[in-house]
Amino acid sequence: MGQTTRLFIAAPLPDELKAYFVEQAGRYKSDALRQVPTENLHLTLYFIGNVPASQLPAIQDVTAHLTRQFTPFTLQLEAIEPGPKPRSPRLIWARFRSHDAFAQLSGSLTQALSTEPPLHREPKPHVTLARFRKDRPVPHSLQSFYPDTPLALQVNEIAVWHSELGSPHPHYSILQRYPLTGNHAEGKTV
């Protein structure tokens, strides 16, 4: 990993959900889009960025400590659509309904791991499926797709991930997994 390492905290996805997302991303036919590789699909909780490799053990300790305060929770898929701003999208994402436990876990990680004061905005639970290329115009009139039947993501664990920049895509790998085992149920402290 060298002197610095690029890290983020995210929930891994089950294989069947990854396959569903790959299929749905395939609905968007445009050479302006670059689809995220299946193995890179994840639900981000906090992007750390480049840090000295020596900080990894402290980041892992903080993550382990926080996961002991949260129990598993379920996110409901709302739509697959251009985002985060529909009129000037940067990506295609699978957007989940807001959830207190997700917001609180993401906020706790941000507060504990950020070197700068966190922005005061509610995190949007999502999985990035494709990104628009910067050298091509974004197509107009991109559709949103809604699941025919309710689709849920059970978040039972989170992980510290390593990101190695590359072309055409970065390579992501999980460094350590942490089960959610605490007493923080569905957004309320027990």
Closest CA to 70 of 188, 190, 181: 181
Over range 153-167, report the average pLDDT: 93
**4-11, strands of its sheet edge to edge:** 43-52, 4-11, 157-164, 171-179
Specify the pLDDT at position 185. Answer: 45
Strand partners, 157: 179
What residue ranges define each of the domains in the chain, with the CATH number in brackets?
4-181 (3.90.1140.10)
How far is residue 63's CA from residue 43's CA, in Å, rounded to a whole number?
A: 15
What's the pLDDT score for residue 2? Answer: 54
CB-neighbour burial class of residue 57 (10 A; exposed 0-12, middle 13-18, buried 19+): exposed
Residue pLDDT, tens place only, 98-140 = 999 999 999 999 999 987 765 666 789 999 999 988 878 777 7
Rounded to a whole number of angstroms, the distance between the first and last alpha carbons of the chain is: 39
Lowest mean pLDDT among 34-43, 97-106, 131-140, 169-178: 131-140
In the chain, the amino acid numbered 4 is T
**Tens digit of pLDDT for each residue in 69-94?**
999 999 999 999 998 887 788 899 99
Q: What pLDDT shows up at residue 30?
A: 83
Q: What percent of the chain has pLDDT over 90?
A: 66
- Retrieve residue 52's tokens: 């000295």
